[in-house]
Structure 1
């Protein structure tokens, strides 16, 4: 084996030694959280609540279409309005109303099934903080330090906003707040996992021969881009919660923004976890 082969083996061992410790610990923490009965209960409740919300929305939509079609049929057949070919119009709207009424009925049945499951489930789980990964910042000079400083500030802000939201008068479901809190914690853990890999590769780059450093630098830039994208998603969730806190005295706060931001951040966190094993 030549000098180049030995250098590559040493480089691989160095990266593995620095990566496996932090990442393995975070994986163990994540598995422990998933096995926690309280966390599983909160996730199941949030899943039921999302199903109920979608069933209610679809039932309302189909019922509205049915009512509109019924009104048109009545007006066409009674001759109140000067419709051209009222019989044809009445038959067409009647057919659409029949289909939409069937969908509305099915959505109502689905909603009743979900509500029955919620009653069998019991009371909604109380908000519970999910243990976060270690918040030790990367050393100065690391590409990962500035994103982790931003993440620490964003985590603190999100925690304060969610606390205000859960104790305020705004009508936000407890399960939505819990889902946002858990998603934020999981996203933060995924971002810290990427930051740990950045630091490991930075140390490996210092020990690598000059011919290998360019490849490692490219990998560091890619991971920094992933950190920035993840932090943008985290900031979107913080902004959505902040808007709910601001709108709490109003009659109709935009609760859908919280759901959309939470789902977006959950997707980013999943993407970071999927990409982590393939990073340099």
Structure 2
């Protein structure tokens, strides 16, 4: 039999992989895996892993320096021969240079972590609701709006592009995160009521069906208002590039965003404190 007949067709394999990925889209396990991957790729988590690795390497070099330094001391004091003094000195010098390098790298990582602490990235987003949930479509829309809002705030926070005060941008970023958290609280409430509706006896489902409908309307309205605030942030960026005053536009959008967060918290009973 020809060897090429035993090779899998690449097009078939690619098609199977694509179909498998499409079938897992929205599955709770797939969403959970994506959520964990997002947390793993978080900039703060990456810096922390690098800091731990660099700290471990620095500890290793310091241990070698201690061992070879002790050997050199014994050699110079005559406890051991000249070979110990020469070998210990050379052996301590090489790890010493590498330890200095690791120390500078650890210092750079600490400075980078401080910069991230001053302007923290948005926290990892929880997985999307299941496809069968009526909260799925609004939350997909919210995810897209959040990505756009983050990009706009990065542009507004760039001194090379705008003259927007850093305090205004930080306030807008914090308020946007609060609004997103409040909207997600309504989404979680909607999903809980949906599960209760699906498990309730048929004669007791009518109030739960009505509750799902009301929460679905409130969730969609909250997401639409968030998207309107994204448009306002875009207008602030456009105003800054047209030599206008963008601060008034962004501050007005931030006030509306704070009102949205408060309204959504009233709906869900959620409190950030």
Short-chain TM bin: 0.5 to 0.7
- Equivalences for 1:230-241 in 2 at 5 Å? 230-241=222-233
2:141 pairs with 1:150: yes
> Which consecutive aligned stretches of 4+ in structure 1 deviate over 6 angstroms post-superposition?
none
- Equivalences for 1:1-280 in 2 at 5 Å? 128-129=119-120, 131-132=122-123, 134-167=125-158, 168-277=160-269
Q: Contact 2:239/2:245 (CA < 8 Å) preserved in 1? A: yes
Q: Which runs of 5+ in 1 are unaligned?
A: 1-125
Q: Counterparts of 1:198 and 1:236 in 2: how far apart (Å)?
A: 22
Larger Rg: 1 or 2? 2
The CA deviation at 1:169 is: 3.0
The CA deviation at 1:263 is: 0.9
Q: Contact 2:229/2:257 (CA < 8 Å) preserved in 1? A: yes
The CA deviation at 1:240 is: 1.4
Q: TM-score, normalised by structure 1?
A: 0.51
Instruction: Give aligned pairs, total.
Output: 154
Q: Counterparts of 1:221 and 1:206 in 2: how far apart (Å)?
A: 14
Q: Counterparts of 1:223 and 1:243 in 2: how far apart (Å)?
A: 30
The residue matched to 1:147 in structure 2 has which SS?
A: helix
The residue matched to 2:157 in structure 1 has which SS?
A: helix
Q: Contact 2:186/2:267 (CA < 8 Å) preserved in 1? A: no
User: Which residue does 1:66 correspond to in 2?
Assistant: none
Q: Counterparts of 1:128 and 1:200 in 2: how far apart (Å)?
A: 34
Q: Contact 1:130/1:185 (CA < 8 Å) preserved in 2? A: no
Q: Counterparts of 1:178 and 1:127 in 2: how far apart (Å)?
A: 9
Q: Contact 1:132/1:189 (CA < 8 Å) preserved in 2? A: no
Q: Counterparts of 1:137 and 1:244 in 2: how far apart (Å)?
A: 30
Q: TM-score, normalised by structure 2?
A: 0.52
Alignment RMSD (CA, Å): 2.1
